Amino acid sequence: MNETLEKLSTCILEGDSEAAPGLVQQALDDGVVPKTILDEGMVVGMNEVGDRFRRGDMFVPEVLMSADAMQSGLEILRPELVSSGVKLIGKVVLGTVQGDLHDIGKNLVGMMCEGAGFEVIDLGFNQKPEAFIDAVKEHQPDLVGMSALLTTTMRAMGHTIKSLEEAGLREQVKVMVGGAPVDQAFADRIGADGYGSNAVAGSDLAKRLVGAG
Find the shortest distance in angstroms from Cβ 200 to ligand B12.
Answer: 7
Return d(Cα 9, Cα 23) in angstroms, integer: 10
151 sits near another protein (criterion: CB under 8 A): yes
Picked from another protein, ligand B12, none, the partner binding residue 60 (CB below 5 to 8 A depending on kind) is another protein
Picked from another protein, ligand B12, none, the partner binding residue 78 (CB below 5 to 8 A depending on kind) is none
Q: In what order do the strands lie in the sheet with 174-178?
A: 119-122, 91-96, 143-147, 174-178, 194-195
Three-point CA angle 97, 138, 167, nearest 5°: 65
Residues 193-212 that bind another protein (CB under 8 A): 198-199
Closest to ligand B12 by CB, 16 or 68: 68
Find the shortest distance in angstroms from Cβ 88 to another protein.
Answer: 26
Residues 107-136 that bind another protein (CB under 8 A): 108
SS3 category, 100: coil
Handedness of CA 64, 213, 181, 98 (dihedral sign): positive
177 sits near ligand B12 (criterion: CB under 6 A): yes
